[in-house]
Structure 1
């Protein structure tokens, strides 16, 4: 017999806008994630979807630890970042894994998710910043 329940999950969505062009942001993301990274580093790939690009991002070591602590965490990690053109630049949107798993009240999983979120947000903030001498476009 199957059962079903609904868990309402409040999410913290981080939205980062930049005057850098979408192409420049995507190129920097590719540079950072280009080589096969060890399991202890962020990995990812870009998936084009119409006028948006989704960055599927993971750190396999963190994902393994999250699902060991909290099997449902596999629904949130690897994580997705939406990257799209916005006005004169680009917009990056990321839903925090820690906020998604907070209703489960698993402190060990939450600590891993917070570290993962910090790595992802650091990457997004870095690619949103213009390089020295670079104009937004």
Structure 2
């Protein structure tokens, strides 16, 4: 017998817009977390032994250790898109200790990790970054331990995105 139910989950979607070019934004994210090459092949992620700052930098600011690139989906080639959209790339990023703790406290959290960052080239030449918060995705379960871990995960991803989106000049 199969049981099915639907959970309505309100998501907090963070949208950052920047005048920085799509290419510059993608390069900075890849530099910070490692990235997938052509065909989804992963580059070796930067060393992230321990917690704290890793020695990697984006726009001159140290990046927290722990975020690693898991893969990329070039949506331009995977889906048909409208003429007004120039480039779309979905980056999968994880923080393995946080993901491990999240599923230990709340197995359903595995549906939210790794996280996806959508990077969109805007019509004006700038870039938009979209990120759905893990804490909002699991908030319906009201598990305080997993929410604390998810908030830390979200904080690291958002700190990186804010640095990447920051204008150079």
TM-score past 0.5 threshold: yes
Two-structure CA RMSD over aligned residues (Å) = 1.3
Contact kept, 8 Å, 1:37 with 1:43, in 2: the verdict is: no
SS at match of 1:11: coil
Is residue 2:52 matched to residue 1:42? no
Is residue 2:151 matched to residue 1:95? no
SS at match of 1:101: helix
TM-score normalised by L of structure 1: 0.91
Is residue 2:107 matched to residue 1:71? yes
**What does residue 55 of structure 2 align with?**
none
Gaps of 5+ in 1: none
**What does residue 5 of structure 2 align with?**
5
Whole-Å separation in 1 of the counterparts to 2:32 and 2:7: 35
**1:68-96 CA-partner distances (Å, limit 9, x unpaired):** 10001000111101001012200000000
Which is worse superposed, 30-39 or 109-118? 30-39
Offset at residue 2 of structure 1 (A): 1.5
TM-score normalised by L of structure 2: 0.74
**1:91-125 CA-partner distances (Å, limit 9, x unpaired):** 00000000000000000000000000000000000
